[in-house]
Amino acid sequence: MQETMRQRIAEGKLFTDYCEGLPEDRRAAKRRMKWFNDLEPEDKDGRATLINAIFGRPTNAWIEPPFYFCYGRNITIGDGTYINVNCSFIDDGRITIGKRVMFGPSVNIATVSHPINPAMREYMFADPVTIGDDCWIGANVTICPGVTIGEGTTIGAGSVVTHDIPAHTVAVGVPCRVLREINETDMTEYRPGMTFADDELVQENKAV
């Protein structure tokens, strides 16, 4: 075989993951994951150092432990993103997350599939997942391989996202479908009759 396993993963071809340093990479990632998940809540410096080490680049995101991943180095997270507790990112394929994305608790992102054919189940193939800037991913969402979610979109709690979801929409359900586009009322009200403009907290923060 001429290609390396890492090339095959990137090209969406069948792969196995017990060769070419992949097990060693996963073991090192598990070590960083354990350190991160065992950090004392007060240890802000340790948290920042480990987040950069997990993703292999400077990353300005807030991640609540426990947080689970396979490699970490295949995940890119934009500035200001927040990841709530118990999220699990299966990153054999690439996961690209934009800026200011909010994740509710227990979100699963899976980039890996196994063949439906049971005799071939030991093999895997991967498709990247991309989440645009300013998305909100509700609690207990599962995002399947190959999905792109456009910027600004909200995915409702408990959804299973099997297809791409366009930008600036609210999408919900199993399978996840667009419920509606984000509209002018969303820009001015957070619930019927309750506006941002009239809210004391928003006013106070604006004044600062």
Ligand X SMILES: CC(=O)SCCNC(=O)CCNC(=O)[C@H](O)C(C)(C)COP(=O)(O)OP(=O)(O)OC[C@H]1O[C@@H](n2cnc3c(N)ncnc32)[C@H](O)[C@@H]1OP(=O)(O)O
**Which residues are near ligand X by CB under 6 A?**
82, 84, 102, 104, 138-139, 154, 156-158, 170, 172-173, 179-180
Cβ at position 152, least distance to ligand X in Å:
13
Cβ at position 12, least distance to ligand X in Å:
30
Q: Between residues 39 and 102, which has the closer beta carbon with respect to ligand X?
A: 102
Cβ at position 44, least distance to ligand X in Å:
20
Task: Please indicate whether residue 168 is annotated as part of the active site.
Answer: no
Reply yes or no: is the peptide bond before residue 192 cis, omega within 30 of 0: no
Q: Between residues 76 and 140, which has the closer beta carbon with respect to ligand X?
A: 140
Distance CA(73)–CA(54), nearest Å, equals 6
Q: Which of 34, 57, 114, 163 is catalytic?
A: 114
Q: Between residues 6 and 100, which has the closer beta carbon with respect to ligand X?
A: 100
Name the residue number minimizing CB distance to ligand X: 156
What is each CA distance from 79 to 63, 106, 111, 113, 177, in whole angstroms?
Answer: 12, 21, 22, 29, 28
Distance CA(10)–CA(87), nearest Å, equals 23
In a 10 Å sphere around its CB, with 0-12 CB exposed, 13-18 middle and 19+ buried, how is residue 162 labelled? middle
- Residues catalogued as catalytic: 114
